Amino acid sequence: METNGKVKQKFPYKIQFVDDVVNLKLLANFHGEKTGFVQVGDEKWFFPSKYEQAAEHFYGFEARASDVWIATFPRSGTTWTQEMVWMICNKLNAQAARSEPLAKRVPFFELHIYMHDLMKQQLLSENPEPLNRQIIEDFAKPAYEVLAATTERRFIKTHFPFSLLPPSIFKTGAKLIYVARNPADVVVSYYHLNKLYRTQGYVGDFANFYNYFENNLTPWSPYWTHLKQGWKARHFPNVLFMFYEDMKANLPKTIRTVAEFLEVELSDQEVDRLTEHLSVASFKKNPSLNGQELIAARILNSNVQGFIRNGQVNSSEEEMTDEIRERIRKWTEENLRDTDLRFPVL
């Protein structure tokens, strides 16, 4: 079997539903999921129920040597990196970038597992407009089917950890860029994202969300194992590991590093142009990046903070109480004891 129908490699990890009591609590807080949540392998990677039926298709997906993958834990600079990579590899064609949503140019590999069938039906019932209905159908279609039929060079976004990525990425030598971001900034941004997306549908407060995050009960967790796997792979010849904090501190330098990794030459003037294109102010005004089509299709809530937020480092968001900051400090200290991974000090 191929991944657009066939599976070439058997999935090696056990998948099981979370404890019934925990599952009921999660379903009461995350209204986008209707069945429940699963945990994968010894690390207990956390996903909605649809992951189970798609796992072998993800793992058996056939990467190509020409692929470029952007892998992160959520809210770690993924969109920023996607746009940077696409622009570098497409001759800084800003007009083309603005005319087509980033989700089309850089498909999200596992997105469809976050569109529960019942949520899809609900959204379709709210959207009589054909264009909006197509957006919903596209969201729910497995990206591995779309990508298998793609003939041009593929750019692919994923939040999967290294252990759940298709092994073919490393067999073919496809390029992979991994971006890490400190947990305090990640969790605040991730909280807002889970409230923004109705397919997540988080209805609790930040303190409760942080409890889920620290206890590895938010999608793509556990956070620290995710980062440590990325850090361990940083010496692979086809992997570029970056820190979001370094991107913020010196974006032109980051652009040059990524361009070199992708074997593309950029002039100083082109670096300057791309730096401006990638600014937060520019992002917020860019219709291909700010999720306007998802708002129109009612996939995003229109009454909460948008997809592109402030992008700050060491943000002093009102949600971040002194008590939670201290918990994050201790949690970070504990999880960095067995590794030389360290976040840049700014």
List the structure tokens of 126: 């709210």
Cα-based torsion angle of the residue sequence 85, 90, 95, 98 in order, rounded to the nearest 10 degrees = -30
Q: Considering the candidates 112, 116, 159, 192, report the single residue annotated as catalytic.
A: 159
The CA radius of gyration of the chain, in Å to the nearest whole number, is 19
Q: How many residues are present in the chain?
A: 346
| Torsion, CA 335, CA 223, CA 225, CA 37, rounded to 10 | 130
Q: Running DSSP on this structure, what letter comes out for residue 113? A: G
Give the C-alpha separation, 176 to 266, whole Å.
Answer: 20
Give the C-alpha separation, 302 to 18, whole Å.
31
Alpha carbons 157 and 220: distance in angstroms, whole number: 14
Nearest to 235 by CA among 178, 159, 181, 168: 178
CB neighbour list of residue 30: distance below 8 Å, 6 or more residues apart: 194, 200, 201, 202, 203
Question: Which one-letter amino acid corresponds to residue 260?
Answer: E
Task: Tell me how far apart the alpha carbons of residues 175 and 64 are, in angstroms, rounded to a whole number.
Answer: 9
Q: Tell me which residue of 222, 198, 69, 231 sits closest to 124, measured CA to CA.
A: 198
- Other CB atoms within 10 A of residue 47 CB: 23
Residue 159 is a catalytic residue: yes
Active-site amino acid positions: 159
